[in-house]
Structure 1
Amino acid sequence: MSCLASPLPRRTVESFTWNYLDHPVHSVRQRPPQQLSDRDQPAVLLVHGFGASTDHWRHNIPALADRYEVHALDLLGFGRSAKPQGLPYGGGLWRDQLVAYVHDQIGRPTVIAGNSLGGFAALAAGAALQDTCAGVVLLNAAGPFSDEQQPPKGLAAIARQTIGSALLKSPVLQRLLFENLRRPATIRRTLNRVYVDRTNVDDFLVESIRRPSLDPGAFGVFRTVFDIPRGQPLDELFVELQAPLLLLWGIRDPWINAPGRRSSFQRHAPAATTEVVLEAGHCPHDEVPDQVNEALLHWLSELEVSQRTSCPEDHS
């Protein structure tokens, strides 16, 4: 097994295993300097997209942790987390995993930020957490609306364009596709399609995606990409969400038709939603991390001010 150095500073990032449904879940945590630590602040939980892991937040965790306690985890089926057979992989499983993590490992109001598939899971978890959710941040989030039929996105779209839906039912063809998609050259080519600025499409990123695909059970998880349940519509989750919402758009995302997707969100998202549009692709947090970190920190600081002013002073 090759040893891959993490770009996150080891002296400040804690890496640990948390068990969910009796399966090990890889998690990382970084706290702000002691003098800035404040239990009244919300924590931040970062959720990766399909095929990614905590490594995809490599440029965000240190910057956000200058002020906030930051957590990230690998969803079951991905990264360094377990990939057991028989689990109902989909939004419901990952929603419940995030809710349990907030209760078990954070224990206070939390802002949940997610990219792509992780965005759908973050929104669903935020709605389920009710008062324990301090905010939700969606970065090019996946998920259906009730008034539309979304075509396949991401890996599923590439596969269907290449082979066709009917043939993808064949386990043999699924295995061949899986073997091709996890080749370093294919991973790099796919990333180059969805990053406008390819500076950060580096060896670390490619290896962080390839390495988990070698784990036992990875092929079984991959096969679910073609059959993941559509999940609860986003507009229904918006109605249930009680926390502030930030939409961060990589507006040049070729996987989701970002301008059209943004219009759909504007029709359904709560009125108090904040939007930030960036010249980036499907993964703006890794492609233009400085801009995403600045937008996130600004929104988080405004969130704190709003929460302080909305709380009546204690005159007892």
Structure 2
Amino acid sequence: MLNEAVDSLLNKPETSNPSAAGAAATYVDATFGRGGHSRLLLSRMAPQDRLIAFDHDPDAIAEAATIADPRFSIRHQGFRHLGELPDASVAGVLMDLGISSPQIDNPERGFSFRFDGPLDMRMDTTRGESVAQWLATAEVKQIAEVVRDYGEERFAGPIAKAIVARRQERGPISTTTELAELVAGAVKTRESGQNPATRTFQAFRIFINAELEELQHALDASLRVLQPGGRLVVISFHSLEDRIVKQFIAKHAREVVDRRAPSWMLGGATAMPLEALGRVKPSAAEVAGNKRARSAVMRVARRTDAP
């Protein structure tokens, strides 16, 4: 949904030509990845506009260095730092959540059970604890809670017990293949077309990078940094992310009337800071060309004039 996301952020059709007239606008690509959204945004922004990107992946920072456009800058930070921008200074915030294809396809990053590699899964390899390091000391209860809560895996208990038993017998798990094989032995029934380790890998990645907590911080910050009329565009790839985004927009877009107040005090609904603009799913053509897109959901909201 590359073009759809940029269209929604800029609030103008793809064929429009940016005008040099008017005040400068600042946009934020909160999850740079490999720069697809940023490059398209730069091609359609006005000459006086600017684009600020965030990413905590060193490979993303290296890719951003290839963009020779004075309107563009990137911060080697997670998008929880969005709130460090000035209040009401941004015309649009784009968040493309989850993991990028280059990260998945690099065995050294340890994100995929399709390749044998170190069990790392950190978005930022320069800091923090890897999955292997955490599993080397985590207790059964901790592991089970992570697999259940972040992977929605019904065999979380058996998986956690198998991991700790393996650690006690032969030492900690250190590779993606070891983890995938161990999970496959603990999962008694499998979803059609899905590797039994899918949910567990997702859970450990989300946990080790504190992805859901970072998302909530970034959404809260977007209310402060978006100027009136500014757009919030969020693309999610699994239900945990989308639920947070959906509930956030609903909470701040739903008009509220305090029915406990006396009738003479009911002067109308409380003004809300967001207006929900819609939910978009990828086209059949996009899904046919990119299987990963099949689970994508894009939600769009607009910052209102409400305080």
Specify the TM-score bucket, using the shorter chain as the normaliser: 0.3 to 0.5
> Given the two structures, how large is their TM-score scaled by the length of structure 1?
0.36
The structure with the larger Rg is 2
